[in-house]
Amino acid sequence: MMTQKKLALVSGANGHLGNNLVRLLIDKGIPVRASVREINDKIPFTGLDCEVVQADITDKPSFVKALAGVETFYAVGASFKLWAKDAKKEIYDVNIQGTKNTIEAAAEAGVKRIVYVSSIAALDYAKLPTKESYGYNPDRRDMYYNSKNDGERLAFQLAKDLGIELVAVMPGAMIGSEAFLPLNVSYGVLKLILNKQIPVDTKITLNWIDVKDVAEGCWLAAEKGRSGERYILANEQCMTITDTTKLANELYPELKLKIPGAVPKLMLFAIAGIMECLAKISKKAPVLTRKDIAMFSGLQQNFDISKARKELGFNPKKPERAVTDALAYLMAHKALLK
């Protein structure tokens, strides 16, 4: 087991997980360097005792510099979106090149250990509950999912070739705690619920997990994780967006949230198609795409997290509690709902 005392670098440190991880490491007494792509984005670091540096995952020299003197590298930074005008270029290529650049930079800088943040997207859902040992997701319809599957495999191969310790963690849909605009995709779903912007029951499920539990899981992976291994940082059970809306309605009856009604799948595809057309005009991500319906409607995201529980001591709060706390945070920070 490794005990962290020396400098840690967190990439993507102004993002939802990155920023909460920075806060956790500071609380643990670990010296932290936080890397961000936009150095002027200082608001997430107000009052935090950490060094903030500029580094972009598409620019390897910036990471060689940022990783100087670092013992543990938390590779959080990535393009986290499910829709883009050119998804291959803006999501897949960025994440694959970013994995290559940052791991090579870490090896050059003499980093001892990497915690590589992958995703539950990199798991095979064919048999439930899904385990790490079941391998990678064979569904190749989504560029973000592809980037996580191919990126994690590339990370392990590079680490092996370059002789650097690497542990991969796979978070579920992270919500709760400190957040700044723009909200991540998962938190954005709760925002849509509170703003009454989910018109129909899509039968899409999410595996809700409190971001603080994921941040702790990342730290535990650095401390106790076995190099070359992958760990699921999620909950055992998923929740549908509709059940999440029902919970929000029970907690905040004054909002008078409408529970989305079921419609035939063909209608779901038609609604998603209209949203995609409107997105092309507005150049903003659609709430729903036909690919979302095809890939995720009815997909169960239940996991066997016994490996992370046993080897890391990972013990997340239940999904209903995670949702309750996250909704309370959004209701207390109304600016995030605009």
Please give the pLDDT value at position 41. 82
Return the sign of the alpha-carbon dihedral for residues 121, 124, 126, 132: negative
- DSSP for 242-282? HHHHHHHHHH-GGG-PPPPEE--HHHHHHHHHHHHHHHHHH
Please give the pLDDT value at position 2. 56
Please give the pLDDT value at position 3. 57
Specify whether the CB–CB gap between 232 and 120 falls below 8 A: yes
Q: Give Dmax (Cα) for the chain.
A: 57
Please give the pLDDT value at position 82. 77
Coil, helix or strand at residue 297: strand
CA atoms within 13 A on the CB side of 52: 21
CATH of 8-175+209-235+301-317, one of 3.30.2130.10, 3.40.50.880, 3.40.50.720, 3.30.56.10: 3.40.50.720
For 72-121, write each residue's pLDDT tens digit. Answer: 999 999 988 878 888 899 999 999 999 999 999 999 999 999 999 999 99
Please give the pLDDT value at position 81. 81
Q: Over 70: is that where the pLDDT of 136 sits?
A: yes
For 192-217, write each residue's pLDDT tens digit. Answer: 999 999 989 999 999 999 999 999 99
- The residues, any chain, with a CB within 8 Å of residue 52's CB and separated by 6 or more, are 13, 33, 34, 35, 36, 39, 42, 45
What's the rounded mean pLDDT across residues 223-249?
A: 97
For 159-178, write each residue's pLDDT tens digit. Answer: 999 999 999 999 999 999 98
Please give the pLDDT value at position 1. 53
Across-strand partners of 130? Answer: 303
Q: Over 70: is that where the pLDDT of 337 sits?
A: yes
In which band, very low, low, confident or very high, does the pLDDT at 271 lie, cut at 50, 70 and 90?
very high
What's the mean per-residue pLDDT of the chain? 95
* Cα-trace Rg, the chain: 19
Q: What is the DSSP letter of 113?
A: E
- The residues, any chain, with a CB within 8 Å of residue 243's CB and separated by 6 or more, are none
d(CA 73, CA 80): 19
Q: What b/e string do you get for 209-221 counting C-beta neighbours within 10 Å, with b at 16 or more?
A: bbbbbbbbbbbbb
E runs forming strands in the chain: 8-10, 32-36, 51-54, 72-75, 113-117, 165-171, 173-175, 200-201, 205-206, 208-210, 230-233, 239-240, 261-262
Considering the entire predicted model, what is its pTM? 0.95
Please give the pLDDT value at position 24. 98
What's the rounded mean pLDDT across residues 9-19?
A: 96
Amino acid at 208: W
Specify whether the CB–CB gap between 264 and 270 falls below 8 A: no
Please give the pLDDT value at position 4. 58
Specify whether the CB–CB gap between 225 and 167 falls below 8 A: yes
Tokens coding 149: 């599957």
